[in-house]
Structure 1
């Protein structure tokens, strides 16, 4: 009895202690939230406003801004961006400026060296004077709104942890992040580095083996008929497919790869399957008789999420959709008459030049401040082509390699284009806005309330003659750009005869097009485009909003359909392999969280994607098409360290995949459901890997989808986490704009304890949406904040 009473008292004591700890944590959480959370109701008096503005946040924290002038509407957007995403905005501009080490310490020096060498901030500064008067005026209003939000005294949690105060916002800061987006989505510097490695190690003929060309007969965004209708006259001679490659020593290649490693550390990397889907359906194919437009950009999934949903209404500016904190516009969405969506074109807009000895260079010194340490002085050199990118942080290493890139050229007016889209009322105004577009080139789909549909791929795309841009070339003047493809000759169509435009980062134009957008290895594999087209054309008419949503959420793997005959011929090396093959033989290719077969296939595919790792480095990943070509044709890459065959490789890779799954999920194959293996990882940029803080800032949950499914969710090598995917979804119904829907990958609130920090994630995973409506009846429970001029 005495012992029992001791344990009972101890239990009561532990319960009391747990309760006290819980109360302390709850109190700390309440204090952190209260001291950091912005004012969302009542009235705030602010300098810089012309008239009263109302900001009504709906049940999901989406602000519906109502102002009497466009400047005030954009001012309010800047104000709420800073209220909800202050840290994200400051971090993004620090990335562009190369000022991460200043607040994060020495560990961020490689990133700062990369960012300063490439000169993202310098490029942003050169673009500001080139913008139209209207854009500069709206940027000034946005800047004033951001600084008004900053002046409210609420401090984001990240600033408290790192112990610094953000500087006032400047107009150029609204251009800075767009340069990083251009890097994330446009260019092939990394492909040139890989190509140079392939040629050096395996020979010129191995290029197509490592990066397979786009398959003949696979879907292109525009058909031959559409290209023919828009063909310029006279056509320009197409460049030859050959390239006089400038050979690079291993030390130079290694130096160039430091850029890729620095970019990856920032979450800026070109990964297979990263891209987007969009499509527009003409009214004759829909049940309403009016177009439906869908878009889901595939980008890094972060905490907070990249996008910020917003509804703006001023005098003429009336747009709703996805904005990016730091930018004064709706980037993807609709106004009252026009809807648009984007996917990445991925043309070749970057070239590496090996400068000859004696080439004239300029140089400058960049001073990098490092938290807790002395300043670091970085010498940056430039040639006529651009920055020397072969000596980042290490001095000169072998030949001097310069980067030429459209996004670093002066006079970038891309923000003019996005603001113009917010105002466009018809196809003519839409096209006129896109004339100002520079980078990164995007596939824009279009629809309007009058029933028109269209497509345009704007941007500065270099013209090369006599070389294809796929490998580094001598910088001796023989491989210079011959200008850019004229805007009116870029790929586009209006009211296409078949009533359907589908883009999924696949090849844009067939061979009839008179210019070259990139080499045949530039494009994403055709699987997503094939599946979207298959689903949308299965019903020749009567498509509804719900039908289109189902297409966005489709998880059938056409990669599996292609691989199935080859993989099922594998000779099992164990009883476990026999069981796995039996299960896969009956699988329908659905990559859902409850399917064991999805785990088996993705784990096996991950092993196969490393086919060239021994020859080219452990971080080299082939795409699925390249692997399949090797397996079908008995390719030389099947050999491991000079031994074996494709048949032997299949047996070994299956065994390796099963061994990996056993280590991760235990011995019972029947319990290897995909949701146990595959989870979204929306991690914080600064604290995502800090163990003491990651639990607070990161968000994870099981997710469906896989490599090149329409609902793309490629597992990350080594972890199986989903780190990239549909960062935002929208489906817009032009028969009734307020029936349109959208959803983000996480939530509106950048504060980790905020009520809207992650409330969209479960909807996003389940395939649900929010109302993309300007009607207050659709907003649910609301909170209103009145902004008044001082």
Structure 2
């Protein structure tokens, strides 16, 4: 009897092993079948003539064709080959169709995006697109779908046991809307204010949600605004539209441009590094498109055919987020509103019946259902409405982006933005003719004294400057303009990167590519330099605390990877921030467990020192006492995690950029998908590296998504970098090859002075031929 049981168990084990091996073999075959074609020849019926995709040693795609339509079709084919799962996830998010793929856990996300009405907006964008732009987009889409028709488009579909749907014009429009949605500011400030109104006094609320500090520089200078607008009095800022808080957790970026008088070459230099969430694959896909009007080189977003950040043969441009408040969360009386309803059906994996979602809408925008949105702090008897420029009609951003790609002069660059509604961006420009400039485009609301929108700032009066008096324009997501600009600019703004950028730009008379590269990688914290004189007066009580304070006395404020000071400082600020405001916020403390950098300085060195007192005790704690106790606690926590020997602490061991992927936690194969690399800096340094206060780790989730430096004396000298790599396929050599180089501050060139026949050594050529 026992022998038979053993035989049955062995047979079951053998069968299980065979099944595992069979599934593994099938998975390996599917993974290899979906690898992007790098060389050889592929027949594409959507082409009129042959096109060539030359991938250089970094995996960057240089695309050649006899017509612009063929170049765009080839780009679509390449995007789908390298990044289609990424494209599909973005599309599903914007459509509200994640539940159909991943199950009920994603119903909340689907209900939110459906409430916003993004799918209807993509239809409007397509309808607004000109015939020429639509033709380019359609050629791109034909290329995407040609790759889908070949099958085995991405390894993720083998894991999910599903196949993707065809791509459409509306899907490409959804990629544009996704960027606008991700970058638009205003909603979180209104939500925060609703939570805080009942627990903070008016003075405390003003301090905690403080405006951009007076000492920090604006991007556009007073003399340039006066030259344009004369002596004006800024329109009053209505109370409901006051800025919500510093943009410590808003998407950010750096960009700066200097004139020829400020460069060694006698021609402008322009640098740009947009800060976005880190992911595998990267948000951007670098290309060189050889078009009828010349080469266009830079970052595309897979799913869309346009170079969003880059250069052509005549000019270069870079963007940062304005931070302007373009979203309001409003309380309305239901009985006073004219409300319409629409119903949408959401398919859910694992459920036989779809979910019927009913959405209410007012003239201002959709009603937010508390079933799907966190509406704590709002009046339960009112309805909460979301008003946003992101979903405003008339969006012609596709035409605007194509016009930017073709712009040769600053006037053409400015005019290209006339059809742009969202997202509002700081747009830096430099031309080979020596012109530098700045403009923005989009809908920026004008509010009355009640906070109601009365219109938008006219396009011709939006912030703008050409060849400024100081010879440079620098943005670190700081306030765009001060009182010499005639309109108020409510929004969320960063404080500490801009003054550091300006100081370094002014530290030398003329700049070079090397000085710009050094500045992009700068990790000396302006915040640390301003706070250290106060922090060094703290009163720790533990031996570890005293040792840590002694180390910081000789620290230069640089958050390097190879030393302990950056860890000491970062751990201290995380604990100190909670010590300052958790007692006042009480049960809401977890909702605000994040950096509030300018407010922290106002507490420690300004007029808000009363926050240092712990209101839960009878004693009145000074900032020196509170900071000292926070240092003791932070060092005890750090020692428990990393040992008591501070000499062994390294910021780079704990501070790691995490390029995550939806599958990177899967057993056995998860490690194939994600990428991780140690990095210096923090959320206030020019080389940005945000980590979460709430997570308990120092993993970086938000940093420079790409870096570019343009030399207008010879655009082929321009420098580029991004991470983790060009390909989204885990078996590609370009899946994560750039991450260590990105972290180390390296760059590469993307030149336009070679052809298919003269491609550099190491390049791979894929020929696409018509049927």
Q: Which residue of 2 aligns with 1:570?
A: 538
Distance 2:124 2:230 in 1: 32
Distance 1:767 1:679 in 2: 15
For 2:660, what is the secondary structure of its paired residue? strand
For 1:354, what is the secondary structure of its paired residue? strand
Aligned residues: 729
Distance 1:531 1:482 in 2: 37
In structure 2, relative to structure 1, the CA distance for the partners of 1:532 and 1:421 (3 Å cut) is same
User: Conserved in 2, the CA contact under 8 Å of 1:320 and 1:333?
Assistant: yes
Distance 1:446 1:395 in 2: 40
Q: Which residue of 2 aligns with 1:629?
A: 602
Distance 1:780 1:660 in 2: 52
For 1:212, what is the secondary structure of its paired residue? coil
In structure 2, relative to structure 1, the CA distance for the partners of 1:273 and 1:244 (3 Å cut) is closer
In structure 2, relative to structure 1, the CA distance for the partners of 1:232 and 1:480 (3 Å cut) is farther
Distance 2:372 2:195 in 1: 21
In structure 2, relative to structure 1, the CA distance for the partners of 1:540 and 1:132 (3 Å cut) is same
Q: Which residue of 1 aligns with 2:341?
A: 363
User: Conserved in 2, the CA contact under 8 Å of 1:101 and 1:107?
Assistant: yes
The equivalent position to 1:707 in structure 2, one of 683, 698, 701, is 683
Q: Which residue of 1 aligns with 2:719?
A: 741
Distance 1:595 1:273 in 2: 29
Distance 2:152 2:30 in 1: 11
In structure 2, relative to structure 1, the CA distance for the partners of 1:743 and 1:375 (3 Å cut) is same
Which digits, 9 at most, give the CA deviation of each residue in 1:383-411, with x for residues without a partner?
A: 11001114344899542110110011122
Q: Which moved more, 1:710-719 or 1:499-508?
A: 710-719
> How do residues 567-716 of structure 1 correspond to structure 2 at under 5 angstroms?
567-610=535-578, 611-614=580-583, 615=585, 616-620=588-592, 621-632=594-605, 633=607, 635-643=609-617, 644-645=620-621, 646-684=623-661, 686-690=662-666, 692-716=668-692
1:435 corresponds to 2:407 = no
Cα shift at 1:50: 2.1
Structure 1's unaligned 5+ residue stretches are 1-22, 246-268, 468-478
Q: Which residue of 2 aligns with 1:559?
A: 527
Distance 1:486 1:536 in 2: 32
User: Conserved in 2, the CA contact under 8 Å of 1:276 and 1:343?
Assistant: yes
Which digits, 9 at most, give the CA deviation of each residue in 1:516-570, with x for residues without a partner?
A: 1215xx2111x111111111111112x1111110000001011111110111111
Distance 2:248 2:102 in 1: 26
Cα shift at 1:91: 0.5
> How do residues 752-767 of structure 1 correspond to structure 2 at under 5 angstroms?
752-767=730-745
Cα shift at 1:379: 1.2
In structure 2, relative to structure 1, the CA distance for the partners of 1:640 and 1:492 (3 Å cut) is same
User: Conserved in 2, the CA contact under 8 Å of 1:665 and 1:677?
Assistant: no
For 1:206, what is the secondary structure of its paired residue? helix
Q: Which residue of 2 aligns with 1:450?
A: 433
User: Conserved in 2, the CA contact under 8 Å of 1:555 and 1:590?
Assistant: yes
User: TM-score, normalization: structure 2?
Assistant: 0.91
For 2:395, what is the secondary structure of its paired residue? coil
1:402 corresponds to 2:401 = no
Distance 2:724 2:760 in 1: 18
> How do residues 7-22 of structure 1 correspond to structure 2 at under 5 angstroms?
none
Distance 1:639 1:745 in 2: 44
User: Conserved in 1, the CA contact under 8 Å of 2:255 and 2:428?
Assistant: yes
Q: Which residue of 2 aligns with 1:263?
A: none
The equivalent position to 1:540 in structure 2, one of 487, 496, 509, is 509
Q: Which residue of 1 aligns with 2:17?
A: none
Which digits, 9 at most, give the CA deviation of each residue in 1:334-378, with x for residues without a partner?
A: 000110000000111111221113122111112111111132121
1:386 corresponds to 2:365 = yes
Q: Which moved more, 1:366-375 or 1:731-740?
A: 366-375
Which digits, 9 at most, give the CA deviation of each residue in 1:204-233, with x for residues without a partner?
A: 222232122212142111101111122289
Structure 2's unaligned 5+ residue stretches are 1-20
Q: Which residue of 2 aligns with 1:523?
A: 493
In structure 2, relative to structure 1, the CA distance for the partners of 1:205 and 1:691 (3 Å cut) is farther
User: TM-score, normalization: structure 1?
Assistant: 0.89
> How do residues 42-53 of structure 1 correspond to structure 2 at under 5 angstroms?
42-53=40-51
Which digits, 9 at most, give the CA deviation of each residue in 1:436-490, with x for residues without a partner?
A: 21111111110111111111021110111214xxxxxxxxxxx431211111111
Distance 1:25 1:289 in 2: 62
